[in-house]
Amino acid sequence: MTRDVNDPFAPFTAGRTNMDRRYIPQRWQDRGGREGMMRGESLPRAAAPLLGFGRLLRRYGFPVAPEQVSSFMQAVTLLGPRSMADIRQAALATLAPPPDRRDEFEAHFQSHFYGNTAAVVEGDSDEETRIKDDGGTSEEENEVIRQEEGGELSSGVEQLCTRDFQRDGDGLAAFRRKLAAALPTRRSFRTVRTHSRGKLDLRRSLREIVSADGDVPSPLLRRRQTVPRKLLLLIDVSGSMKLHTSDYLKLAHAAVQGGGRAEIFTFGTRLTRITGALRIRDRDQALARAAAQVDDWDGGTRMGPTLLAFLSVPRFSAFARGAAVVILSDALERGDHAELETAMRRLSGRAFRLSLATPLAGDPRFRPKTAALRVILPVLDDLVDGSSVKNLTGFILSLARPAPAAEAIWKRVS
Amino acid sequence: MPEANAETVATSPEAVASGLAASRYLADESLSTAIFLAIRLGKPLLLEGAPGVGKTEAAKAIAELLGRELVRLQCYEGIDAAHALYEWNYQRQLLAIRHAGDHEIDIYDDRFLIARPLLQVLNAPEERVLLVDEIDRSDHEFEALLLEFLSDFQISIPERGTIRATAQPIVILTSNRTRELAEALRRRCVYHWITYPDAAREAEIIMLRAGDVAEATARAVAAAVQSIRARPLAKPPGIAEVVEWANAATILEKGGSPWPEAFRRAIGVLIKDEEDLSYIAPELSRIVEEALA
């Protein structure tokens, strides 16, 4: 094989014969051998950029397993590689970047393999509502090492923390404990064994009979399981809700921590999923992380377009299906509210129960008279007071109990 | 050796693409690369994408390419081992016990075992391709079960012992991404995100799949659909619907409707959501005229 000096793949192709032997897909029976390849000492130098790319991605929070890096290198070898495009395809197929972070992935690829650092993506178009998903950040990754200070000082800090905990007057700790049991339920398609009130479990009964050699013992029963419905909180973080957003986020944290399956999104001019951040147990840390993810604090509201954006992502709209959806917003939509109406109608079609909690309703003189509220009132199941955490927790814990439709209640009042 | 067979079919991504085209499936470069890698690396292939972009069709085409039978496991909430792995035919076992009388009888014989898709594939990995369809519909319990199956390719039946595959089976998983799959599952697979095809490729697909549609019609349909998908619809039309639309419009045209009119009247096969229909209706004639131009 002649080496072409101008060939950018010379380092790859030169080592080919050597690499081929080492990297041919192993017969799957002896998969134990693969791990050994990851050890640095036996790798050809040309493979270093490929390894480095895996490390780079990991640094930027892409979940990349060692196993994936090794199949990335195998894939590159299998494909030739005849061009840079082959390496890119191999990276896409084996390192599996989540589709919503694809642009970011491309930028890292450009900067790593072409040295093109300018290719960082921040294409901001005003037309489309920007959607951000924090993906699966887990608590383990975010473990903060607590600084240990000198004896006296540290005990002082300790004291403060305890007091803070006990000052939890808004009842969030109690809310957290009660939530899982208080959510509305549905019947699952999985069944549980039961001793009474069930249908005949033919499979298990027959199995029992066969193992008893044809004797018929008492039949075994099964019943469909009841599982809590999902809780979806959509939190308005626009300027007009400034006073309440921090309370709402604390509530959201308690809801996520309370077990069950809560999903939390914030919206203003953009839509951000913060469920992952709120899974961190420590409240301050979780809120700080969530706050860092949201880009549109205290801005304007584009409630209709952001909710439509929410519905247009299949994965997100699946959260709303059969869920108890609570929107925490004042619903002060600027401009045209036709989009808001469409979005709310679609949401209510998917949701088990659609509620709007507005802080404005804390005022006894409040009536749903704004144009936006008037059009969405017919599709709402509840329109309640969201001015205090206490009211809100009380309301969320009562979601399982039936209540008259929002329109009926507010007609009576006005 | 059939494993060699798979490798001789998949010699390069281009060979895979042309093989798929022979089974009437047009794959773009990155999809054929992903399929090539999945076959050669011996890993499952995970296809994700919006509904109607041709994920299941891709699996069918791969099975045809390899000359193997496709075994499909459709996932749903509550699917469990008895539906995916194996089940004993208890009724037959009971009858056999009765009939046997005093004779010795093995009630865990092959004839009492009902093989479900995963076991079927294990029994003949070189003749079958496993398609686990819409895995996002199943629940976490089933995902864990599948994860175990995909890593070891073996099933333990307490009465019979462990059944192992004699060769690495080819497995394709599809997901509509209505929920996030476990990271472990993504990691174990070769991954590909299928998007809607561009106008030129979609026109080719229409030509290939529809009965007799003129090339100009196919191009116009593809262009119109590109612009329809760019709008915020609740359910953007999938490829199958687009092919149907081209077919329907051609039939109407032969029945005497002029062109733009035929497209407008056949819209019911393309868009199947009342709200979307009323949203698109005022703009439809403009879209179609632009596409025809």
ipTM of the complex: 0.81
- Coil, strand or helix at A385: strand
Judging contacts by C-beta atoms under 8 Å, the chain A residues touching residue B94 are 206, 209-210, 214
CB A378 within 8 Å of CB A340:
no
Claim to verify: residue A370 and residue A300 sit in the same structural domain: yes
Does A128 fall in a domain?
A: no
Q: For residue A69, give the nearest of A99, A45, A39, A42 by alpha carbon.
A: A39
Q: In the predicted model, is pLDDT for residue A94 greater than 80?
A: yes
Q: In the predicted model, is pLDDT for residue A30 greater than 80?
A: no
- Residue range B10-37: average pLDDT? 91
- Which range among A167-181, B98-112, B193-207 has the greatest average pLDDT? B193-207
Q: In the predicted model, is pLDDT for residue B37 greater than 90?
A: yes
pLDDT at B233: 82
Q: pLDDT per residue over A229-270, tens digit each?
A: 999 999 999 888 888 888 999 999 999 998 778 999 999 888
Q: In the predicted model, is pLDDT for residue B137 greater than 60?
A: yes
CB contact residues (below 8 A), chain B span 257-276, against chain A: 275
Claim to verify: residue A108 and residue A215 sit in the same structural domain: no
Looking at the partner chain, which of B87, B90, B179 has a beta carbon nearest the beta carbon of A210?
B90
* Partner residues linked to A267 by β-bridges: A236, A271
- Residue range B185-197: average pLDDT? 91
Confidence of residue B1 (pLDDT cuts 50, 70, 90): very low
CB A410 within 8 Å of CB A368:
yes
Claim to verify: residue A244 and residue A387 sit in the same structural domain: yes
Closest Cα in chain A to B37: A75
pLDDT at A42: 67
Does A307 fall in a domain?
A: yes
Q: In the predicted model, is pLDDT for residue A346 greater than 50?
A: yes
Looking at the partner chain, which of B93, B183, B190 has a beta carbon nearest the beta carbon of A94?
B190
Judging contacts by C-beta atoms under 8 Å, the chain B residues touching residue A207 are 88, 90
Claim to verify: residue A285 and residue A335 sit in the same structural domain: yes
Q: pLDDT per residue over B207-216, tens digit each?
A: 998 878 888 8
Q: In the predicted model, is pLDDT for residue B174 greater than 90?
A: yes
Among A273-287, A364-378, B4-18, B81-95, the minimum mean pLDDT is found in B4-18
Claim to verify: residue A254 and residue A344 sit in the same structural domain: yes
Judging contacts by C-beta atoms under 8 Å, the chain B residues touching residue A202 are 90
Peptide bond into A217 cis (omega under 30): no
DSSP single-letter state for residue A138? -
pLDDT at B173: 95
CB contact under 8 A, A78 and B37: yes
Claim to verify: residue A284 and residue A209 sit in the same structural domain: no
Encoded amino acid at A274, one letter: I
CB A297 within 8 Å of CB A268:
yes
Which of A80 and B173 is assigned the larger pLDDT? B173
> Domain total for chain A?
3
Q: How far is CA A288 from the centre of its chain?
A: 17
Claim to verify: residue A367 and residue A409 sit in the same structural domain: yes
Among A6-10, A395-399, B288-292, the minimum mean pLDDT is found in A6-10
Using CA atoms, how far apart are residues A109 and B70, in angstroms rounded to an integer? 36
Q: Helix, strand, coil % (nearest 5) of chain A?
A: 50, 15, 35
CB contact under 8 A, B191 and A203: no
Does A259 fall in a domain?
A: yes
Confidence of residue B73 (pLDDT cuts 50, 70, 90): very high
Does A153 fall in a domain?
A: no
CA angle A385, A386, A392 (to 5 degrees): 100
CB contact under 8 A, B50 and A314: yes
Q: In the predicted model, is pLDDT for residue B170 greater than 90?
A: yes
Claim to verify: residue A209 and residue A110 sit in the same structural domain: no
Confidence of residue B117 (pLDDT cuts 50, 70, 90): very high
Give the domain range for residue A43.
10-114
Place of tokens 């060699």: B4
Q: How high does pLDDT run on average in chain B?
A: 88
The domain boundary, picked from A114, A133, A156, lies at A114
Q: Please tell me if residue B2 touches chain A, with a CB cutoff of 8 Å.
A: no
CB contact under 8 A, A89 and B33: yes
| Burial class of B108 by CB neighbour count within 10 A (0 to 12, 13 to 18, 19+) | middle
- Residue range B262-270: average pLDDT? 89
- Residue range A168-180: average pLDDT? 81
Q: In the predicted model, is pLDDT for residue B128 greater than 90?
A: yes
Which of B171 and A206 is assigned the larger pLDDT? B171
Q: What length is written for chain B?
A: 293
pTM of the model: 0.74
pLDDT at A134: 63
Confidence of residue B131 (pLDDT cuts 50, 70, 90): very high
- Residue range A277-306: average pLDDT? 88
Closest Cα in chain B to A263: B179
Using CA atoms, how far apart are residues A45 and A107, in angstroms rounded to an integer? 24
CB contact under 8 A, A65 and B187: yes
**Closest chain B C-alpha to A242 CA, distance in angstroms:** 30
Q: For residue B288, give the nearest of B217, B237, B238 by alpha carbon.
A: B217
CB contact under 8 A, B42 and A209: no
pLDDT at A148: 46
Q: How high does pLDDT run on average in chain A?
A: 78
Q: In the predicted model, is pLDDT for residue A159 greater than 80?
A: no
Does A319 fall in a domain?
A: yes
pLDDT at A274: 92
Claim to verify: residue A202 and residue A255 sit in the same structural domain: no
Mutation for A interface: B90, B105, B185, B231, most A CBs within 10 A: B90
Does A150 fall in a domain?
A: no
Claim to verify: residue A390 and residue A266 sit in the same structural domain: yes
Claim to verify: residue A194 and residue A263 sit in the same structural domain: no
Q: pLDDT per residue over A198-228, tens digit each?
A: 888 888 888 888 878 777 778 889 998 888 9
Q: pLDDT per residue over B38-67, tens digit each?
A: 999 989 999 999 888 999 999 999 999 999
Does A155 fall in a domain?
A: no
CB A354 within 8 Å of CB A400:
no
- Residue range A33-58: average pLDDT? 71
Confidence of residue A123 (pLDDT cuts 50, 70, 90): very low
Does A338 fall in a domain?
A: yes
The domain boundary, picked from A63, A88, A114, lies at A114
Claim to verify: residue A197 and residue A277 sit in the same structural domain: no
The domain boundary, picked from A114, A137, A153, lies at A114
Judging contacts by C-beta atoms under 8 Å, the chain A residues touching residue B232 are 308, 312
- Coil, strand or helix at A11: helix
Q: In the predicted model, is pLDDT for residue A117 greater than 60?
A: yes
Looking at the partner chain, which of A136, A209, A318 has a beta carbon nearest the beta carbon of B178?
A318
Judging contacts by C-beta atoms under 8 Å, the chain B residues touching residue A308 are 232
